[in-house]
């Protein structure tokens, strides 16, 4: 019988807290639904005490997700645990995840606490959380750089106080696989009460070893691995979920272990996280990178054509990569469109479907053939988009090598009013973005502007990602179009709409005394 490895996903907490990876509420809800469909055992939804926004998003996710444990992170402080309790009220299976550092450098300089105080606080905070939540996890932050016997003592105290899982993080990504494996074995063997509890690991990727260290831990008795989609996370990131899961799945023969993950959902989850965060993947990223299944060398292509297994250890289908088939054209009806979405594992609520179908028709008019990747881009874009405060009506640019560029744009406000403006700029994109800023009456900072092609070839759709910031907040936007300037405008407007929506929701929540409930996400499954 295969041993089950518990997958604890922290994309929405450790992943989302990394610079440049922030998501708005709508995006977090979509990611949460995807993670549930993927089959993660535990989903860490956020760190409720870190901000009112985080508390609200954990609360919304806890109310939405039914199929897995939803965890909220807390420092070992009563006020943090209270915030986690509040945020997890509606969760079917809540978990409070408490952390406290145990390494000499953290205890002395960050916490200014003695080892004795840390030991006492670990136990008392778990006892406090246990009063309302049965499922408590305790993490010894920076465990790998801590004295192993001290970690065993702290873990023993946390278990005695009622923790069900103890987590051993390599917070700064310092460990080497064989060394990490040996440490996990030691902790497992020397922690009192470990027999009935679960041992977890949480590895960071500073030396590019997060997945290897997690695997070494599994080989030495760890029961749970903490990871993120696409490996996003602090600094160099966390262990990547897709790499861990597929290593275990492809090498089941070696590990005699498996996970509950539906691997055919991996690709969609990866794309969604990339689009929601605006963080693109390197082409050669294992499992989900664009080149992960591309065979360039003639000898490899020949081998794969004759017998796939010559150069492929897993199939693209096994992780749910849609074949880039030409599926639909401008004569395809709504029924065929819906059937294709279902085949791709995507569906949307009626309103989103209406919107996406209209966009598909528009695209099919411009492009003779529409591929799976095009459809996926439309659905993902519409699902995670905030309601449109501003909608694009018309645009035009004038540019050349000798003179500066000018951009004219007409937008329609949600209340029906049209606004039109012309602006000069350093180039066509700059000119048109300036015109948009003038209309919306804000001048956000453009932190990132990236443009690429969805399928390759000159008839491909352009895909633009932007990140903007305004008064301490950050928002992502994404746009696709057969015209690269239009995709840029759409991306910028989608970021502006996310910003407007969040600012309006915050105002509304403040007016109602913070009791406003966020809307549910839009992709339906
Ligand atoms: O890296 C770390 O130590 C963490 C803990 C909060 C688990 O993220
Ligand atoms: Zn971490």
192 falls within a domain: yes
Best CA proximity match to 491, nearest among 452, 441, 439: 452
User: Do 144 and 44 share a structural domain?
Assistant: yes
Ligand 1 center–CA 212 separation, angstroms: 18
At residue 514, the pLDDT reads 52
User: Do 154 and 95 share a structural domain?
Assistant: yes
Which atom of ligand 1 is nearest the CA belonging to 14? 8
Ligand 2 center–CA 172 separation, angstroms: 8
Q: What is the helix (H) or strand (E) element at residue 450, kind and residue range?
A: strand 445-453
Q: Looking at ligand 1, which residue's alpha carbon is closest to its atom 2?
A: 171
User: Do 171 and 45 share a structural domain?
Assistant: yes
Contacts of 471 (CB under 8 A, 6+ apart): none
Tens digits of residue pLDDT in 316-351? 999 998 765 556 778 888 888 887 777 776 767 788
Q: Considering 277, 301, 333, which residue would you say is the last residue of a domain?
A: 277
| Pocket perturbation via mutation, ligand 1, pick of 84, 143, 171 by most ligand atoms within 8 A of CB | 171
309 falls within a domain: no
Q: Looking at ligand 1, which residue's alpha carbon is closest to its atom 7?
A: 139
What's the chain's length in residues? 525
Ligand 2 center–CA 7 separation, angstroms: 15
116 falls within a domain: yes
Ligand 2 center–CA 17 separation, angstroms: 10
* CATH code, 86: 3.20.20.70
Ligand 1 center–CA 172 separation, angstroms: 9
Ligand 2 center–CA 302 separation, angstroms: 43
Best CA proximity match to 135, nearest among 91, 86, 178: 91
At residue 335, the pLDDT reads 84
Looking up tokens 């929601």, which residue turns up?
276
Q: Considering 244, 277, 310, which residue would you say is the last residue of a domain?
A: 277
User: Do 149 and 225 share a structural domain?
Assistant: yes
Contacts of 365 (CB under 8 A, 6+ apart): 330
User: Do 403 and 367 share a structural domain?
Assistant: no
User: Do 459 and 497 share a structural domain?
Assistant: yes
Which atom of ligand 1 is nearest the CA belonging to 142? 3
Residues contacting ligand 1 via CB (< 6 Å): 14, 99, 139, 141, 167, 169, 171, 202, 204
User: Do 409 and 358 share a structural domain?
Assistant: no
Low-confidence ranges of the chain (pLDDT < 50): 515-525
Domain of residue 437 covers 390-511
* CATH code, 458: 3.30.160.270
174 falls within a domain: yes
User: Do 494 and 357 share a structural domain?
Assistant: no
518 falls within a domain: no
Q: Considering 359, 383, 407, which residue would you say is the last residue of a domain?
A: 383
User: Do 399 and 379 share a structural domain?
Assistant: no
At residue 347, the pLDDT reads 67
289 falls within a domain: no
Exposed e or buried b for every residue in 450-487, given b needs 16+ CB within 10 A? Answer: ebeebbeeeebbbbbbbbbbeeebbbbbbbbbbebbbb
User: Do 344 and 206 share a structural domain?
Assistant: no
Cβ–Cβ under 8 Å, residues 106 and 83: no
Ligand 1 center–CA 3 separation, angstroms: 25
Q: Looking at ligand 1, which residue's alpha carbon is closest to its atom 6?
A: 99
Looking up tokens 């305790």, which residue turns up?
138
- The Cβ of residue 502 has, within 10 Å, a number of other Cβ atoms equal to 17
pTM score over 0.85: no
522 falls within a domain: no
Ligand nearest to the CA of residue 169, numbered in listed order: 1
Beta 370-371 vs 326-328: how paired, if at all? antiparallel
- The Cβ of residue 371 has, within 10 Å, a number of other Cβ atoms equal to 20
User: Do 152 and 51 share a structural domain?
Assistant: yes
521 falls within a domain: no
Best CA proximity match to 214, nearest among 260, 250, 245: 245
User: Do 406 and 358 share a structural domain?
Assistant: no
At residue 443, the pLDDT reads 94
Q: How many domains does the structure of the chain reveal? A: 3
CA–CA dist 337, 340 (Å, integer) = 5
At residue 209, the pLDDT reads 98
At residue 345, the pLDDT reads 67
CA–CA dist 474, 23 (Å, integer) = 8
Ligand nearest to the CA of residue 201, numbered in listed order: 1
Per DSSP, which regions of 399-439 are E strands? Answer: 405-413, 418-425
């Amino acid at each position: 019988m295969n041993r089950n490895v518990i997958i604890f996903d922290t994309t929405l907490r450790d992943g989302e807290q990394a610079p440049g990876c922030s998501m708005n509420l709508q995006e977090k809800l979509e990611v949460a639904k995807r993670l549930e469909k993927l089959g993660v055992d535990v989903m860490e939804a956020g760190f409720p005490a870190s901000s009112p926004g985080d508390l609200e998003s954990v609360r919304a996710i806890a109310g939405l997700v039914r199929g897995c444990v939803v965890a909220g992170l807390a420092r070992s402080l009563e006020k943090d645990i209270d915030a986690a309790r509040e945020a997890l009220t509606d969760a079917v299976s809540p978990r409070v995840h408490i952390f406290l550092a145990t390494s000499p450098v953290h205890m002395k300089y960050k916490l200014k606490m003695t080892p004795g105080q840390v030991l006492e606080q670990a136990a008392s905070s778990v006892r406090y959380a246990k009063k309302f939540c049965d499922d408590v996890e305790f993490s010894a932050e920076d465990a790998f750089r801590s004295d192993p016997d001290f970690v065993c003592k702290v873990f023993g105290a946390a278990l005695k106080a009622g923790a069900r899982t103890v987590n051993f993080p390599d917070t700064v990504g310092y460990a080497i696989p064989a060394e990490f494996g040996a440490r996990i074995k030691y902790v497992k063997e020397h922690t009192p009460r470990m027999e009935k509890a679960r041992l977890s690991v949480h590895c960071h990727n500073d030396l590019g070893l997060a997945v290897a260290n997690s695997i070494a831990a599994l080989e030495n008795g760890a029961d749970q691995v903490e990871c993120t989609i696409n490996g996003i996370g602090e600094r160099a990131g966390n262990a990547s979920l897709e790499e861990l899961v597929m290593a275990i799945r492809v090498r089941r023969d070696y590990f005699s272990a498996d996970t509950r993950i539906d691997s055919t959902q991996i690709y969609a989850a990866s794309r969604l996280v990339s689009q929601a965060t605006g963080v693109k993947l390197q082409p050669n990223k294992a499992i989900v990178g664009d080149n992960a299944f591309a065979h360039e060398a003639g000898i490899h292509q020949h081998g794969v054509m004759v017998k796939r297994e010559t150069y492929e250890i897993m199939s693209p289908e096994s992780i749910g990569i849609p074949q880039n088939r030409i599926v639909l054209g401008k004569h395809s009806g709504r029924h065929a469109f819906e059937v294709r979405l279902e085949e791709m594992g995507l569906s949307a609520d009626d309103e989103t479907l209406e919107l996406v179908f209209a966009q598909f028709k528009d695209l099919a008019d411009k492009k003779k053939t529409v591929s799976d990747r095009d459809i996926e881009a439309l659905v993902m874009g519409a699902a995670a988009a905030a309601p449109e405060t501003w909608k694009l009506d018309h645009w035009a640019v004038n540019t050349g090598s000798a003179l500066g560029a000018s951009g004219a744009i007409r937008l329609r406000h949600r209340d029906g009013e049209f606004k039109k403006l012309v602006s000069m700029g350093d180039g066509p994109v700059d000119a048109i973005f300036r015109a948009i800023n003038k209309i919306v009456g804000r001048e956000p900072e453009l932190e990132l502007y990236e443009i690429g092609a969805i399928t390759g070839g000159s008839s491909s759709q352009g895909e633009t990602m932007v990140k903007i910031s305004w008064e301490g907040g950050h928002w992502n936007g994404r746009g696709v179009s057969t015209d690269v300037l239009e995709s840029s405008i759409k991306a910028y407007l989608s970021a502006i709409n996310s910003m407007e929506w969040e600012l309006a929701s915050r105002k509304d929540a403040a007016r109602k005394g913070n009791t406003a409930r966020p809307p549910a996400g839009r992709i339906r499954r």
